[in-house]
Amino acid sequence: MENLQPIETMLAQLIGFLPKLITAIVIFVAALFLSSWLANVAARAMKRRNLDTELILLLRRVVRITVLILGTIQALAQVDFNVTGFVAGLGIVGFTVGFAMQDVTKNFAAGILLLLQQPFDIGDSIEVAGHSGTVRDITLRTTEIRTWDGRDVFIPNGDVYVKAITNYSRDPRRRLQISVSVDKDWDFENLTEIVLGSLKHGKGVLEEPITEAVWTTSTEGKTELTAFYWVDTSQVDLRSAQNAGLAAVRAALSAAAEETAFSVKAPLIEAA
């Protein structure tokens, strides 16, 4: 009988442990189902907000993993596992890995914030971190831009997030300017009417904001008129609008100037 006592003790311990084990298994299985259900609920809610597909997949995965971790910790606690030490160990490992990969983590976090805030979308024309072009892709690590001269630039999201972003596509209205230099013997009011009148009827030119002009006098005895006009880039691209404006002003002045000298110029436009 003495030889059976250790076995009886083990059986008693096993019987006492069995309810805890069953409870732990039930909690873990419940966490599996709950994590999938909550992840799907979160994904449907985010789809209704028209969030980026990649962001939805990421947040869905985060919800599922978070619920699984919490469920696993609760399950381990049922079988008298040292959960406190386990969590502390995970914290130390997480801190070490996070410190070693802080740049990756920064870009990752910035990517999530960019996808949530959506300061620009794929296809938008933007200027950021010294680069201008069309957004081709937005990932969790980088933003890809096709520059005006055809280069593909991959900018870390950490840089994109902290830099000023100019989104040319958010509002299709853009202001252009054309400068006309003439001798002082011109009738300024007549010249203003000719220049502004030639610009108003171009393709995509808007009535509001109004087309206007500013006069300045140079040290060389010349007078310069700078005309400002607004175009709708959903109807015409900037370069075409500027070229059409230059041609219209030159044609109108040539018809009115007879033999009086004039020059017409406009600043270089990089954005399409």
* pLDDT tens string 33-71: 988 888 888 888 877 777 667 677 777 777 888 888 888
Query: What is d(CA 256, CA 246) in angstroms, rounded to the nearest whole number?
Result: 15
Confidence category of residue 96, pLDDT binned at 50, 70, 90: low
Q: Give the residue-averaged pLDDT of 76-87.
A: 71
Count of CA atoms in the C-beta half-sphere (13 A) of 7:
4
| Mean pLDDT within 70-94 | 71
| % of residues, the chain, pLDDT over 90 | 18
- pLDDT at position 236: 86
Convert the pLDDT of each residue in 143-195 to its tens digit.
999 998 889 999 999 999 999 999 988 888 999 999 988 877 777 888 889 88
| pLDDT surpasses 80 at 130 | yes
pLDDT top residue among 18 and 31: 31
Task: Please provide the average confidence, as pLDDT, over all residues in the chain.
Answer: 81
pLDDT at residue 143, rounded to an integer: 92
Q: Give me the pLDDT at residue 100, please.
A: 47
The pLDDT, as a whole number, for residue 128 is 93
Secondary structure element (H or E) that encloses residue 175, with its range: strand 173-183
pLDDT band (50, 70, 90) for residue 16: low
- Residue 209: cis peptide before it, omega within 30 degrees of 0: yes
Helix (H) or strand (E) holding 180: strand 173-183
- Enumerate the β-bridge partners of residue 152: 146
Provide mean pLDDT across the span 6-19.
Answer: 68
- Continuous H helices in 79-187: 83-100, 102-117, 157-162
Judge whether residue 1 has pLDDT over 70: no
pTM higher than 0.75, yes or no? no
Tens-digit pLDDT profile for residues 188-238? 888 889 889 988 888 888 888 888 888 877 666 678 889 999 999 888 888
**What is the pLDDT at residue 131?**
92
Domain 120-167 has CATH 3.40.50.450: no
Does 99 have pLDDT greater than 80?
no
CATH 1.10.3470.10 assigned to domain 2-100? The reply is no
Q: Which two tokens stand for residue 54?
A: 């990649």
Q: Are strands 262-265 and 173-183 parallel, antiparallel or unpaired?
A: antiparallel
Please give the pLDDT value at position 18. Answer: 76
Q: Where are the domains of the chain?
A: 2-100, 120-167, 173-265
Any idea which architecture 173-265 has in CATH? 2-Layer Sandwich (3.30)
CB 262, CB 138: distance < 8 Å: no
Nearest-angstrom CA–CA distance, 227 and 215: 9
